[in-house]
Amino acid sequence: MCALNAFVVADPNKCIGCKVCEVACAVVHSDVPVKTVGQMTTPIIPRLYLVKTAEVTMPVQCRHCEDAPCANACPVGAITQRDGIIYVDQEACVGCKTCMLACPFGAMEMVPYYRNGERVKQLRLTEETGEGPVLQDAFVASKCDRCIGVEGGPACVANCPKEALRVVRPDELRRTRNLEAALAVLESVKNVIG
């Protein structure tokens, strides 16, 4: 049996809503090298989204579902499973937003597409303007890729000052929980028997 997909999740009891994770994510995924920061022309495009309301504060991102609704819904097969993550092939994405509808977490977002710091245009689709038809900007689906290939692992986890984020590896999670439960039983038995 293959391992279950790992994912990043936040602890709402710890998160202070500082947004370090959002910017850290955007920086590692920026398509222009960070060296030119300051001359940056592309907008901030994070892949996790801070929820901050009176009740709860925490970022939300992709769970890398095993039976990924986004992938199952995508009409052009742009979303696939690769190396333990659910991956969006932005070149193949047609911007139909079906995955957005399908994702129960709101982890999928449609974002402007950039290549080498330049806005990518549609191949054909034009918009009628006063100055005649203009090629439309391309939008593609975007979501957490668990920072595959990023040195030091997920940027959001590495940079959160509150250690509010962690990578959950489901199989390990189960084993740790089992161990914790076993120890708890041992503890209570001790108390009873003395």
Nearer to ligand SF4, 86 or 93 (CB): 86
Positions in 22-51 near another protein (CB under 8 A): 22-24, 26-27, 34-35, 37-40, 43-44, 46
Burial readout 152-164 (b: 16 or more C-beta within 10 A, e: otherwise): eebbbbbbbeeeb
Residue 81 lies near another protein (rule: CB under 8 A): no
Q: How far apart are CA 89 and CA 75, in angstroms?
A: 13
- Residues in contact with another protein, counted by CB under 8 A, come to a total of 26
Q: Is residue 155 near another protein by the rule CB under 8 A?
A: no
């990924």: which residue's tokens? 68
Yes or no: say if 16 and 57 are a contact pair by the CB < 8 Å rule: yes
Q: Which does residue 108 touch among another protein, ligand SF4, none (CB within 5 to 8 A, set by kind)? A: ligand SF4
Element (H, E) at 184: helix 170-193
Map the footprint of ligand SF4 across residues 120-159, applying CB under 6 A.
Answer: 143-147, 154-156
Question: Please, which residue, 17 or 170, has the CB nearer to another protein?
Answer: 17
Q: Is 119 in the site for another protein (CB under 8 A)?
A: no
Q: Say how many residues make up the chain.
A: 194
63 binds ligand SF4 (CB under 6 A): yes
Instruction: Give the number of C-alpha atoms closer than 13 A to the C-alpha of residue 130, restricted to the C-beta side.
Output: 0
Q: 99, 62 in Cβ contact below 8 A?
A: no
Q: Report the helix count and the strand count for the chain, using DSSP H and E.
A: 5, 12
Residues that bind ligand SF4 (CB under 6 A): 8, 10, 15-21, 25, 47-48, 50, 59, 61-65, 68-70, 86, 102-103, 105, 107-108, 143-147, 154-156, 160, 162, 164-165
